[in-house]
A and B are shown apart, each in its own frame.
Chain A
C-alpha cells in the first residue's frame, strides 16, 4: 500500500514525455480521397513518361540484353564459361541467387509482418516493396536453374510421375529450396496481385484510353468495391499476411540449410538460419530505400513517402545490421573456441589476409557492420544522401558476404589436395550485372503501368475515413 503513491509518481512523467514528442502517424498530409486518388493514379495515367525514365530504361534494357546474351552463350557452351572449378563449384551463380532471394525478403516482411503488427508506415511503401520482391525472386530463380548445367531439364526438380521412375531426394535441402522459393514466389505474387485489385479498379475507372480501360478492367476482375466484397477481401488479405509471415522466415532458413546441412567447414553452422534471415531483411530494406528515394522525388510522392518513412527504414537497416554483425561475431567466436581445426583455419583464412579473400571479408565488415552505424545519428538517418549511400554499401556488402561464405569455405576443404581458387570470368560478371538489368527493366515497367502506392489502403488512413462512430 505504501508503495502505491510513488508508483503513480513514476508513471506520470513517462506519460507526459510520450505526449510531448508525438510519434509520426504517417498519414498523407493535405490530402482527401479525391486528391489522393488523382495524385497517385495520375503518375501512370496522366504524367508523360519522362526523359529520365527513358534513359534508365535504355540502360536497364541494355543490361537485360547482355543478360540474354550471357544466358544464350551459357546454354550453348555450358557452365564452364564461368569460373567454376573443383573445389569451388558454387561461384557467382549461387551467390547471386542467395543475394536476390535475400533482397526479396523485405517485400513480404513489409506487406505481411508489418501488416500484422499494425505498422502504419508500411502502407506507403508496401506496393513498391512487393513489386521489388517479385522481380528480385524472378532474378533469383534463374540462377540455380542456369547453374544446373542442363537448365532445360529444370522440371526434373519437380516431383512428378516420370518414365525414369525417380523422385527428387526429399531429404536434401536443395529440394527444400525448390519448394520454398517457388512457394514464396507464388504466394508473394498472389499477395501482390490481390492487394492491387481495388487499385486496378480505380485505374480502370480513371483510364482515359480504351486500351487502358480494357487492360485494367481485365486485371481488376470486375471489382466493384462492394462492402460484401471488402468484408471477404480483408479477411483474405489478413490471412495471407498470417501465412506469409512464417513463410518469409522459412524461405531464407531453408536457403541457409543448403549450406548449414553440408559438412563443409564454414558452412556447417547452427547460427545460419537466423543469421541469413536477418541478412535478407537487411539487404531487402536497403534496396527498398534505394528505390523509394528516387521514386518519391521523380513522381512527387513526398507527402506519401515522407522522411519519417525513410527514417524508420533506416532504423530497420541499423537493427538488422547489428543482428547480421552478431552473426559474423558468433561465427568467428565459435570457430575460435571450437575444437575443429579445419574450421578454425577457414575462419582465420577469411580474415587474416592469407589470400585474396581477406580483402572481401574486410570490405563486407566495413559495408555491413561499420557503415550502417552512422544511422545511429538521427540527423544523418533523415538525410537521403546518407541513406542511399549506406544502402548501396549494404547491398554491395551483402553480396560480398554471400560470396565470402560460398567461396572461402569451398576453397579450403579438409583435404589440402583439394584446395583451389575461384577466379571469376567476364561471363560471371555479365550474368550478375545482366540480372540487375532484368530487375531494373521489370521495375521500370511496373512504375509506368501499375498503381505504385496502395491507394485503397492509404484512403483508409485519412482522417474521417471510418466515420465518427466506428462500427456499431
Chain B
C-alpha cells in the first residue's frame, strides 16, 4: 500500500549516496579507478591531503584556474597602468621637472603590484567558486565516521544521482573494493528538494542518520 511505497521512495530520495572508508592511499586510488572503470561518474573521493593521481582517477581534466589567473593578471596590469596614465596624464597633468606626463617607466612598479593583487585574488575566488565554497553543510557530514576524512582516513562516495546507481548493487560493488568496515549510507537529511519537505510525514520516513548495509560477506 501507500506507506510501503512512500517509505521506499523517500528512502531512495533521501539518500545522498553510499560511502566506504579506506585506510591507505593506494586503496582509495585503486577503488576510485575501479569505480570509474565500472562506469560510475557521480562520485567523489575524500582524502586528508591531496593524493597524487586521485583527481585523474575521477576523470578530472586540467583545472581552468591558470587561465582565470592569466586573465586576472591581464585585467590587473591594464587597470593599474590605465589608472596611473589617466591620473597623471589626462585628469591632472602635473609638470614635475619637465618629465613627460605619460612617464610610463615610473608606472611599472604599481602596474606590477596591481597585476599580482588581481591575479592572486582571482585565483582564490575562482577556486572557491569552482569548489562551491563556502558551503557550511553537505550530506557527507551526516556520516559520523567522515570526521576522519580530514585526519587519517580516505572515503569514496558513489552518489545516488549517478545513472548506474542502484542501492544494493552499488553497495555490493563498494564492498568488493575491500573497504575498512561496511558500506555506509549517506543520508541527505534536510538538504532534500523543497517538494519533499512539504510532504507530510516525511520527517518520520527519513532513515536514521547512519545505517549500514549488510550485503554479502565483508572483505578485507
**Is A254 positioned at the interface, with any CB of B under 8 Å from its CB?**
yes
**Is A28 positioned at the interface, with any CB of B under 8 Å from its CB?**
no
User: A170's contact among B66, B84, B123, by CB below 8 Å, is which?
Assistant: B84
The answer to whether A227 touches B55, judged by C-beta atoms less than 8 angstroms apart, is: yes
The answer to whether B117 touches A186, judged by C-beta atoms less than 8 angstroms apart, is: yes
The answer to whether B106 touches A171, judged by C-beta atoms less than 8 angstroms apart, is: yes
Which residue of chain B has its CB nearest to the CB of A166? Answer: B92
For the complex, give the distance between the alpha carbons of A459 and B52 in Å.
13
The answer to whether A466 touches B112, judged by C-beta atoms less than 8 angstroms apart, is: no
**Is A58 positioned at the interface, with any CB of B under 8 Å from its CB?**
no
The answer to whether B120 touches A456, judged by C-beta atoms less than 8 angstroms apart, is: no
**Is B4 positioned at the interface, with any CB of A under 8 Å from its CB?**
no
Known: A225-B47, A225-B149. A231 touches B29 (CB 8 A): no
Known: A221-B134, A246-B116. A33 touches B151 (CB 8 A): yes
The answer to whether A228 touches B58, judged by C-beta atoms less than 8 angstroms apart, is: yes
**Is A34 positioned at the interface, with any CB of B under 8 Å from its CB?**
yes
Interface residues on B, range: 35 or more
For the complex, give the distance between the alpha carbons of A201 and B134 in Å.
12
- CB-CB under 8 A from B114, the residues of chain A are 179, 183
Known: A222-B134, A227-B55, A233-B131. A37 touches B152 (CB 8 A): yes
- CB-CB under 8 A from A175, the residues of chain B are 110
Which residue of chain B has its CB nearest to the CB of A247? Answer: B116
The answer to whether B134 touches A206, judged by C-beta atoms less than 8 angstroms apart, is: no
**Is B3 positioned at the interface, with any CB of A under 8 Å from its CB?**
no
Q: Count of chain A residues with Cβ under 8 Å from any Cβ of B? A: 69
The answer to whether A179 touches B110, judged by C-beta atoms less than 8 angstroms apart, is: yes
Q: Interface with A: B135-143, B166-174, B194-202, B208-216, which one?
A: B135-143
**Is B1 positioned at the interface, with any CB of A under 8 Å from its CB?**
no
Residues of chain A from 224 to 276 with CB closer than 8 A to chain B in the complex? 224-236, 239-240, 243-244, 246-247, 250, 254, 257
**Is B40 positioned at the interface, with any CB of A under 8 Å from its CB?**
no
B27 CB to nearest A CB, Å: 8
User: A456's contact among B48, B106, B133, by CB below 8 Å, is which?
Assistant: B48
User: A221's contact among B44, B63, B66, B128, by CB below 8 Å, is which?
Assistant: B128
The answer to whether A228 touches B44, judged by C-beta atoms less than 8 angstroms apart, is: yes
A205 CB to nearest B CB, Å: 4
Which residue of chain B has its CB nearest to the CB of A175? Answer: B110
The answer to whether A234 touches B50, judged by C-beta atoms less than 8 angstroms apart, is: yes
Residues of chain A from 442 to 466 with CB closer than 8 A to chain B in the complex? 456-457, 459-460, 464-466
Digitize A1-45: 1 where CB-to-B-CB distance is under 8 Å, 0 elsewhere.
000000000000000000000000000000011100100000000
A176-B109, A180-B113, A233-B131 given; name 7 further pairs at CB < 8 Å: A32-B152, A221-B128, A226-B131, A227-B32, A228-B55, A236-B124, A246-B116
